[in-house]
Amino acid sequence: MKLNDPTLLRTDAYINGAWAAAPQDRRFAVTNPATGETIAEVADLGAAETTAAIDAAVPAQKAWAARTAKDRAMVMRKWYELIMANAEDLAVILTTEMGKPITEARGEIAYGASFIDWFAEEARRVCGDVMESPIPDKRFLTFKQPVGVFGAITPWNFPIAMITRKVSPGIAAGCACVLKPAEQTPLSALALAEVADRAGIPAGIINIVTGMDAPAIGETMCADDRIRKMTFTGSTEVGRILMRQSAGTLKKMSLELGGNAPLIVFDDADIDTAIAGTMASKYRNAGQTCVCANRIFVQDGIYDEFARRLTEASEAMKVGNGMEDGVEQGPIIDDQGLEKIERHVADARAKGAEVLTGGDRHELGGTYYQPTVLANMSSEMMMFGEETFGPVAGLFRFSTDDEAVAMANDTEFGLAAYIFTDSTSRLFRVSEALEYGMVSANTGIFSSEVGPFGGVKSSGLGREGSKYGIDEFLEIKFLCVGI
């Protein structure tokens, strides 16, 4: 890994403003999914070190909250500027440990940094109300205060953006965090901590606990009543565990969980727009995104042409090491992810799906998988009910609007949905009928720091980003004053 600034590559945890090794110098390997080679050996911390991080965060948070919002915003702005100044090195670290193409990694750095920039400004706009009192000799006021110390657990598929989307509103509000990054991608988290340290974010405000024992670290956060909020992105199964473990201390929860995104293409859609949007949604990050189109519903009149065009576009993709020029799809993160993709494709084939292209491991070996398009999909197949998390586009046929909406909503999940239509009335009618927290119309990419991100049903609780995101880290206090 060639970096302009090699000191960004950190391998110890970051607690109370210092780099911390594990007891007995325990370490775990971080590998490059494109080559299988070990990149680094990272400190393997556990429950005791997580408690030490909480110990550091509690007093640090009180001092940080006592500073003005403008002060916090200025420090955060410096963090943003240093991230952008080191964007290329951060992208190289991200691609090397996660596998996505370097062009996507560069985009993620800018996207991740945008949350810091946004919430630095939102910090200065937190305000309460003076309300009309129903009692002549009393005045009613509300104001907002930081929730306190929060725990954060982030996934491997967006190892920069999922951290900044959680940490930046929290620290903007005056909170401090203890964060556990995914064991597959800890180097991006530690590089962010290094840059935060250079920016002057005080010791104890951002603590990064790296480790392989995720259940012990997570349970320690949930059980400690000094952690007043948990925020997590990952599977619905783990989200439910964290929610149960947090029940004893009644924490606030933000959960961005599993998805099963429908992408609906109506007969009146512009097919060029629909193909471009489907490619962007389906194959970005090799299909390893929580809002990736998982079930593609295409209306009868356009089905055959859409299937042909999508197959051609999928076959034209360049697969390879994300550091190589022109690569559009990198490897799957690990063997477990690859095996799930294979199970889904095998199940679809056994139940009558037609493979239009792909359908097997890539000739590059390792965890590479071919961009795949399957036709004649049905609701009996695993891909209808489970998130594949890979570069497999399954095409389902429908006839009427009501049929499309019913199939799209036939899932416990409700994170993101996509529709392609040139009818304004259909756009609004279908969008309102879809049971999802986010609907993207006539585009395959919608995420932004300005828009609220989050789901309904089994896809989670709360919203990240936007003007609403900072409220997840604030409590409203009511003040009644007798006069």
State the Cα–Cα distance between residues 391 and 470, nearest whole angstrom. 34
Rounded alpha-carbon distances, angstroms, from residue 37 to 34, 117, 148, 338, 366? 8, 35, 40, 18, 11
Dig out the tokens for 468 from the structure.
Answer: 């609403």
Q: Is 328 a catalytic residue?
A: no
108, 256, 464, 472: the active-site residue: 256
H helix intervals, 151-287: 161-173, 186-199, 214-223, 236-246, 271-283
Dig out the tokens for 453 from the structure.
Answer: 């991100």
Q: Is 127 a catalytic residue?
A: no
Closest CA to 347 of 310, 312, 394: 394
Is residue 296 classed as helix, strand or coil in its secondary structure?
A: strand
175, 177, 222, 290: the active-site residue: 290
Rounded alpha-carbon distances, angstroms, from residue 144 to 170, 206, 472, 476? 13, 22, 11, 5
State the Cα–Cα distance between residues 127 and 124, nearest whole angstrom. 8
Closest CA to 204 of 335, 17, 410: 17
Closest CA to 147 of 472, 479, 483: 472
State the Cα–Cα distance between residues 132 and 435, nearest whole angstrom. 37
Active centre residues (catalytic): 256, 290
